[in-house]
């Protein structure tokens, strides 16, 4: 059944085989191009925004407020969607020093976002309070704000990748392939939560491995568990599941149902080790596929390592790697590459 959502992303996104990488590692690796969901709103966030911004419009909002790091793909996609609907946008960006105008931050400014900065400390302790205060201020000026949390990773946003999982099942039927294992990057948890929720509710039995780009296993398991539970009422409202199915799932779902690998965080969020940059270069040359340094580069590096002799993904069957986007975030680190 079709879910009710905005229709913004170019869907379905293509799936293709990574022939030379598969040969190199002696296994079967496919890639789903969620980096090609669009241009201005490219990447995974648009799938979630199709649901969250639908809710914003339903509530009569004329301003989207959201938050992320200075090079946030999510903020850039939100700013693009706001402009598309003639809405205003305001983004709270985490910085450590005065940032150069480049990459996603440049696009935020280009597409007319109001920008407010905060420190790492403020971001981790009080970003939601700061956004609430921003909303209050805009309200006093006559706006109707709608706040989207970090990464649109809440109950309603989780529907984006619940839906994407079903898109993958449809593509399996067309291609005549079963993807036994799905590998992706996880940062704010909504992508991993949505995929896992669809897998569990439908009893599809796939292995979904979320490679953390920050924090640790426990953080992501608790977070994915929480937002999956929050997504259940939305699935009932969409007619995807019944109330009793939602109740049963809420009672049975456990944090340990979400497989997280935190072995590839490296030196921290948006910080690259030389071996990660070398891996991005390797895949670019081997396959003509460009990964980003913050998310997909780390996740693919994790996949590559776990597929080598004795790794945890040896024998994982047909693997589907989801390219979740992030290209604009590569340009600000171009000087870190050695040629």
Ligand X SMILES: *Cc1c(COP(=O)(O)O)cnc(C)c1O
Name the catalytic one among 42, 72, 188, 300.
72
The nearer residue to ligand X, 30 or 138, going by C-beta atoms, is: 30
Cα separation, 118 vs 236, in Å, equals 37
Cα separation, 1 vs 267, in Å, equals 43
- Residue with token string 């996949």: 303
Token pair of 122 as six digits: 């403020």
The nearer residue to ligand X, 154 or 171, going by C-beta atoms, is: 154
The nearer residue to ligand X, 143 or 219, going by C-beta atoms, is: 219
The nearer residue to ligand X, 52 or 191, going by C-beta atoms, is: 191
CB 310, CB 274: distance < 8 Å: no
Q: Is 335 exposed, middle or buried (0-12, 13-18, 19+ CB in 10 A)?
A: exposed
Binding site for ligand X (CB under 6 A): 43-45, 73-74, 151, 153, 185-192, 292, 295-296, 324-326
DSSP 102-158: -HHHHHHHHTT-EEEEE-HHHHHHHHHHHHHHHHHHHHHTT--EEE--GGG-SHHHH
Cα separation, 97 vs 273, in Å, equals 21
The nearer residue to ligand X, 5 or 45, going by C-beta atoms, is: 45
3-state class of 31 per DSSP?
A: strand
Under DSSP, the state recorded for 8 is: -
The nearer residue to ligand X, 37 or 138, going by C-beta atoms, is: 37
**What torsion do the CA atoms of 106, 111, 116, 120 make, to the nearest 10 degrees?**
-50
Least distance from ligand X to the Cβ atom of residue 174, Å: 25
Cα separation, 329 vs 106, in Å, equals 11
72 is catalytic: yes
Cα separation, 139 vs 72, in Å, equals 25
Least distance from ligand X to the Cβ atom of residue 141, Å: 30
- Nearest to 73, CA basis, from 101, 98, 99, 108: 108
Q: Give catalytic residue positions.
A: 72
């Amino acid at each position: 059944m079709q879910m009710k959502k905005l229709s913004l992303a170019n869907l379905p996104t293509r799936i293709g085989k990574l022939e030379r990488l598969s040969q190199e590692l002696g296994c079967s690796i496919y890639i789903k191009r969620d980096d090609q969901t669009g241009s201005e709103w490219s990447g995974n966030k648009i799938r979630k925004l199709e649901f969250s911004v639908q809710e914003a419009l339903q509530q009569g909002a004329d301003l989207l407020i959201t938050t992320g790091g200075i090079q946030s793909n999510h903020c850039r996609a939100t700013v693009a969607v706001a402009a598309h609907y003639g809405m205003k946008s305001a983004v709270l960006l985490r910085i450590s020093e005065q940032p150069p105008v480049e990459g996603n931050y440049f696009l935020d400014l280009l597409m007319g976002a109001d920008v407010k900065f905060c420190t790492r400390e403020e971001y981790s302790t009080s970003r939601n309070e700061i956004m609430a205060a921003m909303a209050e201020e805009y309200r006093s000026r006559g706006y109707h704000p709608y706040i989207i949390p970090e990464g649109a990773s809440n109950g309603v946003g989780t529907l984006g990748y619940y839906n994407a999982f079903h898109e993958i099942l449809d593509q399996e039927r067309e291609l005549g392939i079963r993807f036994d294992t799905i590998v992706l990057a996880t940062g704010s948890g909504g992508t991993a939560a949505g995929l896992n929720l669809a897998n569990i509710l439908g009893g599809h039995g796939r292995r979904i491995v979320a490679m953390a780009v920050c924090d640790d296993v426990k953080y992501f398991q608790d977070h994915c568990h929480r937002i999956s539970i929050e997504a259940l009422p939305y699935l009932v409202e969409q007619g995807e599941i019944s109330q009793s199915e939602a109740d049963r799932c809420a009672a049975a779902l456990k944090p340990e149902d979400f497989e997280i690998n935190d072995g590839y965080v490296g030196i921290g969020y948006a910080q690259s080790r030389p071996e990660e940059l070398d891996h991005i270069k390797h895949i670019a040359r081997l396959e003509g596929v460009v990964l980003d340094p913050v998310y997909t580069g780390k996740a693919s590096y994790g996949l590559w390592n776990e597929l080598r002799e004795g790794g945890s993904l040896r024998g994982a069957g047909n693997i589907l790697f989801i390219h979740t986007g992030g290209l604009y975030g590569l340009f600000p680190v171009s000087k870190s590459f050695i040629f």
